[in-house]
């Protein structure tokens, strides 16, 4: 999301909705790392976690990284949100994706994977910003600042789609196959949410694709296995996709 105003602290409507939806979903159904992530990002947004920055200060852009070397933004922008509804939609999405993927991978592996994917999304965002500026001559790609967990969520969505068997997904009333679902969602969000970061969401999809479809994923899996001592076990469907076989 592109930040456009200073956030308000305290209990807002989006926070209330998030609490209600989380309780309705069932706290016992949410794996520990996912639940802690939701709570931490909510407390950060409401100001109950005191930090020496505000959301606008740590938004990420290509110019802040390449020119000003603002590494704080590189790492913190993923976990800040521009509004209560921005937080609500992202955390509900995280709850669903984390509840599916964390039990498959294991909590420790899932946490490390989140760190890697979030860092990869930051790398991809500034890389796309620089590349699009060079290709189009539009300096806005270089300077546009964004915050939020959305890019990481798009990466997780690619992983989740690769783990499950091919099926139709309902996206705003449209029935689309798994392999197209994330791209349809990218376009719909761009059209329906004008303040969303198209480049950030696209970057998240590309990071998810790098992990799911290329040797990069195997390197990440082996690295995580070496750290935690527990291998990441994927569904057979995932391996077929990564190896380029879609039968």
pLDDT, tens digit, 9 for 90 and up, residues 19-31: 999 999 999 999 9
Written in H, E and C, the secondary structure of 51-97 is CCCCHHHHCECHHHHHCCCCHHHHHHHHHCCCCHHHHHHHHHHHHHH
Specify if 189 maps to a domain: yes
Q: Which domain holds residue 190?
A: 13-243
The two structure tokens encoding residue 82: 């521009």
Specify if 207 maps to a domain: yes
Active-site hit among 150, 196, 197, 212: 150
Q: Average the pLDDT over 106-114 and give the result.
A: 98
Specify if 5 maps to a domain: no
For the chain, the straight-line distance linking the first and the last C-alpha, in angstroms and rounded, comes to 37
The mean of the pLDDT values for the chain is: 89
Q: Is the dihedral of CA 15, 20, 21, 26 positive or negative?
A: positive
CATH code of residue 82: 1.20.1540.10
CA distance 200 to 221: 24
What is the structure's pLDDT at 241?
A: 65
In the residue annotation, 201 being an active-site residue is answered as: yes
Specify if 206 maps to a domain: yes
Active-site hit among 81, 86, 201, 234: 201
Residue 228 belongs to what H/E stretch? helix 215-228
Specify if 199 maps to a domain: yes
- pLDDT (tens digit per residue) in 218-237: 999 999 999 999 999 887 66
In the residue annotation, 122 being an active-site residue is answered as: no
- Looking up tokens 């704080």 gives 72
Domain count across the chain: 1
Q: What is the DSSP string of 14-61?
A: HHHHHHHHHHHH-GGGS-HHHHHHHHHHHHHHHTSS--SS-GGGG-B-
Specify if 4 maps to a domain: no
Closest CA to 78 of 31, 125, 36, 33: 125
Specify if 2 maps to a domain: no
- pLDDT (tens digit per residue) in 118-145: 999 999 999 999 999 999 999 999 999 9
Specify if 8 maps to a domain: no
């Amino acid at each position: 999301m592109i930040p456009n105003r200073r956030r308000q602290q305290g209990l807002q409507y989006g926070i209330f909705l998030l609490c209600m939806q989380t309780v309705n979903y069932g706290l016992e159904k949410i794996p520990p790392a996912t639940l802690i992530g939701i709570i931490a990002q909510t407390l950060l947004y409401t100001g109950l976690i005191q930090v020496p920055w505000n959301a606008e200060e740590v938004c990420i852009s290509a110019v802040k990284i390449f020119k000003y070397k603002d590494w704080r933004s590189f790492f913190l922008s993923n976990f800040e949100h521009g509004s209560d509804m921005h937080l609500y939609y992202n955390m509900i999405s995280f709850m669903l994706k984390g509840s599916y993927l964390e039990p498959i991978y294991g909590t420790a592996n899932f946490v490390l994977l989140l760190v890697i994917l979030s860092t990869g999304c930051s790398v991809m965002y500034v890389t796309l910003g620089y590349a699009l500026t060079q290709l189009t001559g539009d300096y806005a790609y270089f300077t546009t600042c964004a915050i939020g967990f959305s890019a990481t969520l798009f990466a997780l969505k690619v992983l989740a789609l690769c783990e499950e068997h091919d099926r139709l997904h309902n996206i705003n009333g449209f029935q689309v196959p798994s392999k197209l679902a994330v791209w349809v969602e990218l376009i719909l969000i761009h059209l329906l949410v004008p303040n969303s970061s198209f480049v950030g969401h696209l970057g998240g999809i590309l990071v998810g694709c790098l992990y799911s479809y290329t040797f990069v994923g195997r390197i990440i899996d082996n690295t995580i296995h070496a750290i935690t001592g527990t291998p990441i076990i994927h569904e057979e469907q995932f391996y077929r996709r990564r190896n380029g076989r879609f039968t």
